[in-house]
Amino acid sequence: MTHRPKTAALIAYAGGLLSDEGRRRLEAHLAGCDVCGEELAAIEMYDSLIEDVRSSQMPAIDFESMELPLAREAAAISRTMLAQKERRSRAPWIGLGVAAAAAAIGIFVWSQRAETPAPTPAPIAEATEVVEPAPVEVPEPALLEPVVTLAAGDVHRVTEGGEMSLSLGDVLGEGDQLRSGDRSEIHVRLSDGTGIRLASSTETTLTRIREDEVRLELGAGALAHDVAPLASGSQFVVLAAGYSVEVTGTRFVVSYLADTVGVDLSEGSVRILAPDGEVIELRAPARWRSRGNAADGQPDAPAVRGLAEPRIAPTPVTLTDLRIVQWSVDGFEVETLGTVQIGLAPGEHEVRGWDPRGRLFTALLPVGDAPVELRAEALQPEAPRLRPGHLDEEDLRPVLTRGMRQVQRCYEVALRRGVENATGRAQIRLDIGVMGEVTRARVQGLPDGPLAQCITNYATRWTFPPPGGPVTIEQPLALTPTQ
């Protein structure tokens, strides 16, 4: 006969409800009864399962997706319990235990679902009109503030408002056109370390003067540049008659004279883009012309005045003297027939000037904080320090041929007047000045008298080509009667 497990006693034992005496007697029975031992293990498993379900913290998950796995697990447990029940003579309490466990799981799951609000469906957005985003405006690079650092002679600028004279310290704008007259100059600081110098009879336009690019258009004349090394991505371009000269930091001159574009490069390098697309690379020292070959010799790129931003504002100085055609201030030379406006630091400055004949005038000019004008009487003449000049035979012959006819006339007049010793050979010594004028004439081989004086009077009015410096010549005189 099969032993039936004492289910009620086992449930009470698992729940800790038996007395000490009852627990000892049941434990003594369990020591020899395998059937009751298996039943007690099953009861304790069910109690543990229910306790785990009650104490577990359910995560915030989708319970709809969890319901089916839990139901499957409960069904599997139920099948296991039913199989065990059949093996144990289908004890009625097992079905109740399984049903209780499944019910506990189901009740807990649904209670959690009741406590956790169902997710609210996201509202359906109404269709709205698609608005294209506004284009992002990139700010224009900042404008430079070009300043006139030297103005000499007839200098002007042309703006939308008209033409006006340029003065020292004038601030120029983008699009301004600059013009220098005959024997006049303009010096402009574009930025710290970068500037331009307009030579005589030059026209140029400040097409673009921004931090990222400087673009100048040369209409005529010669434009000297001194360009500091450029920042990455920046450009410095000079346009002349379809040619484009691009700079990377250098000293150079771009000229447009007699329909020919020229570049004289003293420092650095430039790239020239021709109208036909040809690219010419130049590295200093170099000379280039768009027509023909450049003349031999070193390139001449004059310096630009006032490139560096001054720490102390310079004092305006005006130089005016109608005698002077070339000035030098502390060694910085300016060639002009007009007034020179220049900024100088406080202190004493050496000023020099030359007249058309090459005579030198000097002055020591004190400069303070107030504007200064150099008076003409302040310039003191000095002996010119000029190199000796030279005249070729073809330069002398035309002047001397005409002069010899005047000498012959003096001789024949002397003969008619019965001047003694009017025959024979003599010579004339001529001192010629820088501009070709005769500064002194001396007749040798004749006694002082009317004949020598007549020849001297004519000779002092002779004019030769400028020799570039003082020169002395001697010319033989053949004094014979005309046949």
Residue 78 within any structural domain of the chain: yes
**Token pair recorded at residue 308:** 């560096």
C-alpha distances (whole Å) from 232 to each of 224, 229, 236, 281 are 23, 9, 12, 20
| Residue 49 included in any domain | yes
Mean pLDDT score, 51-58: 61
> Are 319 and 431 found together in one domain?
no
Nearest to 435 by CA among 410, 453, 416, 462: 462
Residues 154 and 273 in one domain: yes
Q: At a CB cut-off of 8 Å and minimum separation 6, what does 56 contact?
A: none
In a domain, 430, yes or no: yes
**pLDDT single digits (tens) 156-208:** 999 888 899 999 999 999 999 999 999 999 999 998 889 999 999 999 999 99
pLDDT score at 89: 47
Residue 322 has pLDDT above 70, yes or no: yes
d(CA 483, CA 464): 30
* Domain edge (last residue) among 271, 289, 307: 289
> Which candidate, 114, 112, 46, places its Cα nearest to that of 74?
46
Provide the CATH number for the domain around residue 366.
Answer: 2.60.40
Tens digits of residue pLDDT in 164-174? 999 999 999 99
Least confident of 49-58, 310-319, 352-361, 450-459: 49-58
Does residue 185 form part of some domain?
Answer: yes
Does 222 share its domain with 274?
A: yes
- pLDDT value of residue 61: 56
- CATH number, domain containing residue 397: 3.30.2420
Do 16 and 88 have their domain in common?
yes
Distance CA 364, CA 372 (A): 13
Most distant CA pair in the chain: distance in Å?
195
In a domain? residue 136: no
Q: Are 161 and 276 part of one and the same domain?
A: yes
CB 152 within 8 A of CB 193: no
Q: Which two tokens stand for residue 390?
A: 């030279």
User: Per-residue pLDDT for 129 more than 80?
Assistant: no
pLDDT in tens, 420-452: 555 567 889 999 988 899 999 998 888 878 888
Structural domain including 471 reads 393-479
Q: What is the C-alpha separation between 165 and 179, in angstroms, rounded?
A: 10
What CA–CA distance (Å, rounded) separates 365 from 418?
62
Provide the CA 317 distance to its chain's centre, in angstroms: 31
Task: Give the pLDDT of residue 309.
Answer: 81
Residues 93 and 205 in one domain: no
- Give exposure, 215-250, as e/b (b: 16+ Cβ within 10 Å): bbbbbebbbbbbbbebeeeeebbbbbeebebebebb
Q: Examine residue 471 and state whether it is found in any structural domain, yes or no.
A: yes
Written as one string, the DSSP assignment of 293-324 is PPPSS----PPPTT-SPPSSPPEEEEE--TT-
23 shares a domain with 65 = yes
Picking from 397, 394, 360, 366, the residue whose alpha carbon sits closest to that of residue 380 is 360
- Neighbouring C-beta atoms of residue 379, cutoff 10 Å: 21
How far apart are alpha carbons 461 and 438 in whole angstroms? 7
Show the tokens assigned to 372: 């200064």
How many separate domains does the chain show?
A: 4
How far is residue 381's CA from residue 359's CA, in Å, rounded to a whole number?
7
Which CATH number belongs to the domain containing residue 174 in this structure?
2.60.120.1440
| 133 falls within a domain | no
pTM above 0.95, yes or no: no
- Higher-pLDDT residue of 280 and 307 is 280
* Domain shared by 44 and 85, yes or no: yes
Residue 246 shares a structural domain with residue 325: no
Proportion of the chain in helix, strand, coil states, percent, rounded to 5: 25, 35, 40
- Verify that 433 and 337 share a domain, yes or no: no
Give yes or no: residues 259 and 225 share one domain: yes
Task: Name the residue with higher pLDDT: 439 or 478.
Answer: 439
176 and 88 assigned to the same domain: no
User: What pLDDT digit, counting tens, does each position of 368-417 carry?
Assistant: 999 999 887 888 887 555 567 889 988 999 999 999 999 888 888 888 88
H/E element, 411 = helix 393-416
* pLDDT class of 60 with cuts at 50, 70, 90: low
CA dihedral (407, 409, 411, 414) positive or negative: negative
Q: What is the C-alpha to C-alpha distance for residues 343 and 371, in angstroms, rounded to an integer?
A: 9
Question: Quick one: DSSP state of residue 53?
Answer: H
At residue 35, the pLDDT reads: 82
Q: What is the mean pLDDT of residues 314-334?
A: 91
Please give the Cα distance from 263 to 286 (Å, whole number): 8
Helix axes 393-416, 450-459, angle to 10 degrees: 150
Q: What is the mean pLDDT of the chain?
A: 80
Question: In the prediction, which pLDDT does 237 show?
Answer: 93
Sheet of 424-432, strands arranged across? 438-444, 424-432, 471-479
Name the phi and psi angles at 409, rounded to 5. -65, -45
State yes or no: pLDDT of 146 exceeds 70.
yes
What amino acid occupies position 106? G
Residue 470 three-state SS: coil
Query: What is the number of helices (H) and of strands (E) in the chain?
Result: 7, 26
**Does residue 300 lie in a domain region?**
no
Token pair 């301004």 is found at 176
